[in-house]
Amino acid sequence: MEDLAHFINGKRTRGTSGRFGDVHNPATGEVIARVPMASPDEVNAAVAAAAEAQPAWGETNPQRRARVMMEMVRLLNRDMDKLAGALSREHGKTLPDARGDVQRGLEVIEYCIGAPQLLKGEFTDNAGTGIDMYSMRQPLGVVAAVMPFNFPAMMPLWHIGPALACGNAVVLKPSELDPSVPLMLAELFVEAGLPKGVFQVVNGDREAVDTLLDNETIQGVSFVGSTPVAQYIYARATANGKRAQCFGGAKNHMIVMPDADMDQAADALVGAGFGAAGERCMAISVAVPVGDETADRLIEKLVPRIEKLRVAPYTDGDDVDFGPVVTAAARDRILSLIESGVKQGAKLAVDNRDFRLQGYENGFFVGPHLFDHVTPDMDIYKTEIFGPVLSTVRAGSYEEALKLAMDHEYGNGTAIFTRDGDTARDFAHRVNIGMVGINVPIPVPLAYHTFGGWKRSMFGDLNQHGPDSFRFYTRTKTVTSRWPSGLKEGGEFHFKAID
């Protein structure tokens, strides 16, 4: 069994705390590696080394930093299959999903090649006679990124890329459940020309995170994960005077209007509800058909599609629809939520509670489930299940469907399926949710737009990737300058002129 490491000053470094966590292959249930849990001393040493490396990187001109990003894109493409294989082995998602995970991260690195353009400041000539004013974007210094298990390539790349392109040093704390790919990314960055120490990886759990949050050198914290942890990290980081952006959980509703193409809506729901075993913050977990007749038609289309889904390990070929969930604890939690749904009166239209995969009895598999007649008071509606479970809540009208999505505590993504432009526009305009799809079930914005939810899906101000990421990872400095020729007519007058 492999012992994983941290990545400090350009190389893998053994953990010294003596504490380890188990890394599983979720398809077989086997422990395949141990990940070291960093002690506070190890975390603080990694931050101190990052602080030493950062000034020279911050002084490196943006084109040179962009060239590292350009080379990184090439290396990610070169190693795509290797990364995807390592990712599937620890996460459980299918190989096409794992390649997508790397690809969506790579696209943000491509965006970061535009750093010289994105970091340009502003200039006002003659703000007062002989006085010029200009603003510039400077790196924060050392920043921390604490990442979730569900996209072990994409999520770190969304944060490391812009943070580095802006001239920061980064200390990444990946999920302890699938830490191999982040370590591989660190090696690739060094191969791409990133100076040693500018990107450190410390593995660990809450102890490592708390150390980062309390470390005075860390200037900014990016977090992606569940809402209670997002809220905790936001509170502690900002109380310590740090800039923070913390992205949390989701319960994404898809509204199906009576005029929607029902085959398209059903296909979309199956892909968005069950892809990656539902372990996506943009998964659709609630279908909201408007009217009983729409609901009956939709359920009739959904059931055979869901029953046909192929649940298997990633090694079983590219036609696997989804694999296991990430841990035994996640599987047990999902199954107990399904039981609660049955007890609280929802109807299981597809019931796979006895799902077992021959040869993989110790794997963390959960079969696909479809609930009908779910109501907002039920736990399966209120909770983010993060598994292959789709709930149907029947709405009497469009207004009722809209209110349902708006009243939910989460506001990450949502979608509407309709042929009616007026309804679609009204929905996009009024809904209090950060990312909206119109006949698009998973409306993940591309790298040059920004990604972020509303309500309890996000704590902070600035979104992930796109222009917001360059704002988050830089501070603005504004300079007012006057040269002697501007003083010719008397300095006092000129100061007044810009009051």
Summarize as ranges the residues that interact with ligand NAD (CB under 6 A).
146-151, 155, 173, 175-176, 205-206, 209, 224-226, 229, 232, 247-250, 281, 384, 386, 412, 453, 457
The 3-state secondary structure of the chain reads CEECCEEECCEEECCCCCCEEEEEECCCCEEEEEEECCCHHHHHHHHHHHHHHHHHHHHCCHHHHHHHHHHHHHHHHHCHHHHHHHHHHHHCCCHHHHHHHHHHHHHHHHHHCCHHHHCCCEEEEEEECCEEEEEEEEECCEEEEECCCCCCCHHHHHHHHHHHHCCCEEEEECCCCCCHHHHHHHHHHHHCCCCCCCEEECCCCHHHHHHHHHCCCEEEEEEECCHHHHHHHHHHHHHCCCEEEEECCCCEEEEECCCCCHHHHHHHHHHHHHHHHHCCCCCEEEEEEECHHHHHHHHHHHHHHHHCCCECCHHHCCCCCECCCCCHHHHHHHHHHHHHHHHCCCEEEECCCCCCCCCCCCCCCCCCEEEECCCCCCHHHHCCCCCCEEEECCECCHHHHHHHHHHCCEECEEEEECCCHHHHHHHHHHCCCCEEEECCCCCCCCCCCCECCEECCEECCCCECHHHHHHHCEEEEEEEEECHHHHCCCHHHHHHHCC
Q: Which is nearer to ligand NAD, 37 or 119 (CB)?
A: 37
Determine contact, residues 444/434, Cβ cutoff 8 Å.
Answer: no
Q: Which is nearer to ligand NAD, 79 or 101 (CB)?
A: 101
To ligand NAD, the closest distance from the beta carbon of 208 in angstroms equals 8
To ligand NAD, the closest distance from the beta carbon of 281 in angstroms equals 3
- Tokens 């949050």 map to which residue? 213
Q: Which is nearer to ligand NAD, 106 or 224 (CB)?
A: 224
Options 112, 166, 246, 281, the catalytic residue: 281
To ligand NAD, the closest distance from the beta carbon of 32 in angstroms equals 18
To ligand NAD, the closest distance from the beta carbon of 117 in angstroms equals 26
Q: Which is nearer to ligand NAD, 238 or 315 (CB)?
A: 238
The DSSP bridge pattern shows strands 218-224 and 243-247 to be parallel
Counting every residue written for the chain, the total comes to 499
Q: Which is nearer to ligand NAD, 40 or 58 (CB)?
A: 40
Neighbours of 492 (CB within 10 A): 9
To ligand NAD, the closest distance from the beta carbon of 60 in angstroms equals 29
To ligand NAD, the closest distance from the beta carbon of 264 in angstroms equals 26
Distance CA 392, CA 301 (A): 13
Q: Which is nearer to ligand NAD, 134 or 448 (CB)?
A: 448
The DSSP bridge pattern shows strands 369-372 and 389-392 to be parallel
To ligand NAD, the closest distance from the beta carbon of 105 in angstroms equals 12
Q: Which is nearer to ligand NAD, 212 or 256 (CB)?
A: 212
Q: Which is nearer to ligand NAD, 372 or 384 (CB)?
A: 384
To ligand NAD, the closest distance from the beta carbon of 216 in angstroms equals 18
Question: Is 281 a catalytic site residue?
Answer: yes
To ligand NAD, the closest distance from the beta carbon of 23 in angstroms equals 13
Distance CA 416, CA 408 (A): 16
Q: Which is nearer to ligand NAD, 356 or 382 (CB)?
A: 382
Q: Which residues of 313-323 are buried (b: 16+ CB within 10 A; e: fewer)?
A: bbebeeebbbb
Six-digit token string for 137: 């974007």
Q: Using CB atoms within 10 Å of the CB of residue 247, give its burial: 0 to 12 exposed, 13 to 18 middle, 19+ buried.
A: buried
Which residue's Cβ lies closest to ligand NAD? 225
Catalytically active residues, by annotation: 281
